[in-house]
Amino acid sequence: MANDLKYALVTGASSGIGAATARALAVAGYQVVGVARRADRLAQLAGESIEVRVVDVTDQDSVNELAAYFADKNLEVIVANAGGAFDATTIVEADLASWQKSYEVNVLGTVRTIKALVPLMTQGGHVVIMGSTAGRAVYEGGGSYTAAKHAVAALAGTLRLELNGLPIRVTEIAPGMVQTDEFAVVRFHGDKEKAAKVYEGVAEPLVAEDVADAVVWCVTRPAHVNVDLLVVRPVAQAAQHKIHRVSHPK
C-alpha cells in the first residue's frame, strides 16, 4: 500500500542539487517524488526508480495539485530545493523583475510548498530547506540572491519555532561554492564564459552530490536529533570572499 512507503519530495529536481538529492534519497530507501517545471529534464530521473511530476512552485494551482497527490501517502521528507540566482547586477542598476523572480522562486515557492505539504505530515517528518552561504553573508552584484536567501534563512528559523512540539524536524542546508551545470550559467543569462570564471582556479569546488550527501545525512539522524543548520563549503572556500585559486602558468 502507498501508506507503507516512506515518501520524500524534492522540488527543483530537474538538475543540479535537486536531481542529485532525489537520487541519493532513493538509494537511502525513500520513495522519491522529484518535481520541477521542465518535463524533459525530469524524464532523466524517471528511469531511476524515482517518480516525477511537473510542478511549478510559483503557481498555487500546481502546488495544490501536488498536495492532493500526497493526501493519502506517508510523506516523511520535504526537500524545498527549488531556487536560483537570476542576475549579477548592482542594486543601483537592479532589474526589479529579476528581484521579483528571485523572491517568487526562492522564498514564496518555498512557503507555498511548506504551507501545502507540512499539514500532511501527520506521522511526523523532516523539512529540509535549501539555503546558501549567501543567506549568511552579502557580496557585490548578488543583491537579489543574497536578499532572497537571507529571507530563506529567516523562514527556516521561524518554521522551526512554529513547529516546536510536533514531531517535525526543520533543517537548513547552506552550501557555499557548488559547481553545477546550470546555476552560474542561468545567473549570467547563458554566458558560459562568465559562468566558468566563477570557478576559475578552484581545484575542487563542491559538486551537487556533496550537497545531496549532506541532505541524506541530516534526514537519517535519529528522530530526536535535529540539525538546525549545516553549512558546507569546499576546502578552498574559507568564507564568501576568501577563496583559494590556483594560478595556472601560461
Give the residue carrying C-alpha cell 507555498: 112
The helices-and-strands tally (H runs, E runs) of the chain is 9, 7
Q: For residue 184, what pLDDT is reported?
A: 63
CA dihedral 12, 13, 18, 23 (to 10 degrees): 160
Average pLDDT over residues 173-191: 81
> Cell triple for residue 88?
549579477
Catalytic residues: 145
Of the chain, the end-to-end C-alpha distance in Å amounts to 62
Can you tell me the distance from the alpha carbon of 8 to that of 27, in angstroms, rounded to the nearest whole number?
12
Is residue 51 within 8 Å of 7, Cβ to Cβ? no
Reported as a single tens digit per residue, the pLDDT across 103-134 is 999 999 999 999 999 999 999 999 999 999 99
> Cell triple for residue 228?
538546525
Reported as a single tens digit per residue, the pLDDT across 59-89 is 999 999 999 999 999 999 999 999 999 999 9
Structural domains in the chain, CATH included, are 2-232 (3.40.50.720)
Stated pTM of the model: 0.93
